[in-house]
Chain A
Amino acid sequence: MLTGVTSSTGVANLIYRPTVPDSQTVTTTLEFPYRRSLGPVVGGFMRALGEHRILGVRTPAGEVLVPPLEYDPRTGAALEELVDVGPGGVVGSWAWVAAPTRRHPLDHPFAFALITLDGASTALVHAVDVAGEGAMRAGMRVVPRWRDEPQGRITDIEAFVPETGGQG
């Protein structure tokens, strides 16, 4: 976790952490074993992933929020009407992760992206698996690559890939 890379200024920043061997440090690990109930909206979304479906939730104003929220951020109204979206969609903003950590969804370089799925009014954050940053551009169409064994988590979508072909 503590990668031994500092910026050229020797200053730690949000991206890399210095490893400073020191006989007077103490290392503490906190662990919180959460087990979260998901309810009908979030639970419905996660279950649908196992069926290779992506769901959004319809608001009274007619928008389709993806990922589905339990309450309308505009009005506070409780939301419950889940509808299918995608599974393909369009990339908006993206960021290239050149050195992924074990907490990232992929173990090789990838892009995080905001993906507006067909039929959705809002964008989902997820990973896009392409060979290099040169393959990423706003407007590209992507489709989900599904995990073999669904776990009821957002990572049941392993990543999105370009619609025209597989992983570069």
Chain B
Amino acid sequence: MPATDIAIVGWAQTPAVARTDATEPQLCMQANLAAIAMAGIERSDIGFTCAGSCDYLTGGPFAFVQNLDAAGAWPPIAESHVEMDGAWALYEAWVRLQHGDIDVALVFGSGKSSPSDPAELYPQQLDPYYLEPLGLDPASIAALQARALLDTGRATERDFAEVVARSRRDARTNPNAHVRDEDDPERLLAAPYTRNPLRAHDVAPVSDGAAAVVLATARRARQLTEHPVFIRGIDHRVDVHQPGMRDLATSPSTADAARRAGLGDAPVEVAELAAISSPQELIVRDAMGLGDGVAVNPSGGPLGANPVMATGLIRIIEAARRVADGTARRAVAHATNGQALQHNLVCVLEGES
């Protein structure tokens, strides 16, 4: 067990939109200011800052450096960056806080997907010899994973449609989501395939947005808020990259991370999963061993809003929100990286016991 309990004491996200005219630093600053205000701290209280973003997504080498404008890097601050979803920036900040010499950290994640075409961009994260030259786009990979799951007999296309329908209904109660329409599984199933066996609605939208979280050590957290949300366990594991070298219908790295994060120690009421396609939600649920009584993606999940590089951090926020407001005593959040659930992070949250 970690020597130091760490809690989430503040958070914020910009309302995700299909296309914004704000710059990424502007989005980050909005999120950071709101999270800092919620936590009730001064910027000078922050001992470590960590950000998650992707230069390829932003469209410029070292673009992440400009995002630091949102953290106020003068006088000089102790900061780090990961070319990952902000959930991994949170992981790094959690590790940093274990040292015990600082007691507050700021984490943020951001991404504007609207300027680029995922089919052109995402192959750049694939093996450059065997996969990228095929133009293997994310919709195709999602569809390969979907069919792999269908072929096991453990899920049907109707199951996919029901995930989408539920996500859209729930997104209506989330002011930060933007895909909230058609929620009738029959009508969803009547839509044409865009990448047989997937339909357009089966994959997460393109969104622009940023999110921020403030972490504090337990002692400091209790001074800052009456409802600290404790990170009881956090872990991440990665599977082999080549899609043909693993079973796409399962997620061993999610199961492993969940076990190491102690998910199985007690039941959870809420699970926020960063599944960017409807079949992925079923795969992740299965890997985590979540029972039917667990509310999955009450925020609407990534199918409601998918600001890449913030999506996973937002799952942690949405899970933390429901612990802080008493909806859940214990919740789990999941973030993913790479394609077809190659790399997965699991974060278990609990209120004060």
Q: Is A in direct contact with B (CB under 8 Å) within the complex?
A: yes
Q: Which of A3-11, A79-87, A140-148 contacts B (4 or more CB under 8 A)?
A: A3-11
Contact A15 B195 (CB under 8 A): yes
Contact B135 A101 (CB under 8 A): yes
Looking at the complex, which one of B123, B133, B147, B203 makes contact with A14 (CB distance below 8 Å)?
A: B203
Enumerate chain B residues within 8 angstroms of A108, measured Cβ to Cβ.
Answer: none
Say whether, besides A98-B193, A112-B144, A125-B244, A28 and B200 are in contact (CB < 8 Å).
no
Contact B135 A103 (CB under 8 A): yes
A78 CB within 8 Å of chain B: no
CA distance A30 to B131 in the complex (A): 21
Per-residue 0/1 for A120-131: is the Cβ within 8 Å of any B Cβ (1 yes, 0 no)?
A: 001111110000
Q: Which of B4-12, B113-121, B323-331 contacts A (4 or more CB under 8 A)?
A: B113-121
Per-residue 0/1 for B121-135: is the Cβ within 8 Å of any A Cβ (1 yes, 0 no)?
A: 001000011110111
Nearest-Cβ distance from residue B241 to partner chain A, whole angstroms: 8
Contact B193 A103 (CB under 8 A): no
**Chain B contact residue count (CB 8 A cutoff):** 55
CA distance A126 to B203 in the complex (A): 22
Contact B148 A103 (CB under 8 A): no
B70 CB within 8 Å of chain A: no
Enumerate chain A residues within 8 angstroms of B114, measured Cβ to Cβ.
Answer: 12
Nearest-Cβ distance from residue A36 to partner chain B, whole angstroms: 7
Contact B129 A1 (CB under 8 A): no
A55 CB within 8 Å of chain B: no
B22 CB within 8 Å of chain A: no
Contact A42 B129 (CB under 8 A): yes
Enumerate chain A residues within 8 angstroms of B145, measured Cβ to Cβ.
Answer: 93
Contact B134 A127 (CB under 8 A): yes
Contact A154 B191 (CB under 8 A): no
A77 CB within 8 Å of chain B: no
A20 CB within 8 Å of chain B: yes
Contact B244 A103 (CB under 8 A): no
Contact A93 B147 (CB under 8 A): yes
Contact B182 A9 (CB under 8 A): yes
Contact B203 A124 (CB under 8 A): no
**Chain A contact residue count (CB 8 A cutoff):** 54
Most chain B beta-carbon neighbours within 10 Å: one of A9, A65, A95: A95
Enumerate chain B residues within 8 angstroms of A23, measured Cβ to Cβ.
Answer: none
Enumerate chain B residues within 8 angstroms of A114, measured Cβ to Cβ.
Answer: 144, 148, 243-244
Contact A67 B242 (CB under 8 A): yes
Enumerate chain A residues within 8 angstroms of B147, measured Cβ to Cβ.
Answer: 93-95, 138
Nearest-Cβ distance from residue B35 to partner chain A, whole angstroms: 27
Look across to chain A and name the residue whose beta carbon is closest to the beta carbon of B134. Answer: A105
Interface residues of A in 148-168 (CB under 8 A from B): 153-155
Contact B148 A125 (CB under 8 A): no
Nearest-Cβ distance from residue A49 to partner chain B, whole angstroms: 11
B18 CB within 8 Å of chain A: yes
Contact A95 B195 (CB under 8 A): yes
Contact B144 A94 (CB under 8 A): yes
CA distance A126 to B135 in the complex (A): 10
Contact B59 A12 (CB under 8 A): no
Nearest-Cβ distance from residue B24 to partner chain A, whole angstroms: 14
Interface residues of A in 101-137 (CB under 8 A from B): 101, 103-105, 112-116, 122-127, 133
Contact A1 B195 (CB under 8 A): no
A17 CB within 8 Å of chain B: yes
Enumerate chain B residues within 8 angstroms of A50, measured Cβ to Cβ.
Answer: none
Look across to chain A and name the residue whose beta carbon is closest to the beta carbon of B198. Answer: A95
Contact A12 B129 (CB under 8 A): no
Nearest-Cβ distance from residue A26 to partner chain B, whole angstroms: 9
Nearest-Cβ distance from residue A162 to partner chain B, whole angstroms: 18
Looking at the complex, which one of A11, A105, A155 makes contact with B205 (CB distance below 8 Å)?
A: A11
Say whether, besides A9-B182, A36-B129, A65-B245, A14 and B135 are in contact (CB < 8 Å).
no
Looking at the complex, which one of B120, B151, B242 makes contact with A93 (CB distance below 8 Å)?
A: B151
Looking at the complex, which one of A73, A95, A96, A155 makes contact with B245 (CB distance below 8 Å)?
A: A73
Nearest-Cβ distance from residue B134 to partner chain A, whole angstroms: 6
Rank and list the top 7 A-B pairs by shortest CB-CB distance, nearest first: A123-B244, A103-B135, A95-B143, A96-B196, A12-B206, A73-B240, A7-B200
Provide 11 A-B residue pairs closer than 8 Å at the C-beta atoms, listed in order of the A residue: A11-B18, A15-B200, A67-B130, A69-B242, A73-B240, A93-B147, A95-B147, A98-B196, A112-B144, A114-B244, A138-B151
Interface residues of B (CB under 8 A from A): 18-19, 21, 59-60, 114, 117-120, 123, 128-131, 133-140, 142-148, 151, 178-179, 181-182, 191, 193-198, 200-201, 203-206, 240, 242-245, 248, 276
Interface residues of A (CB under 8 A from B): 1-2, 7-9, 11-18, 20, 24, 28, 30, 34, 36, 38, 42, 46, 65-67, 69, 73, 92-98, 101, 103-105, 112-116, 122-127, 133, 138, 153-155
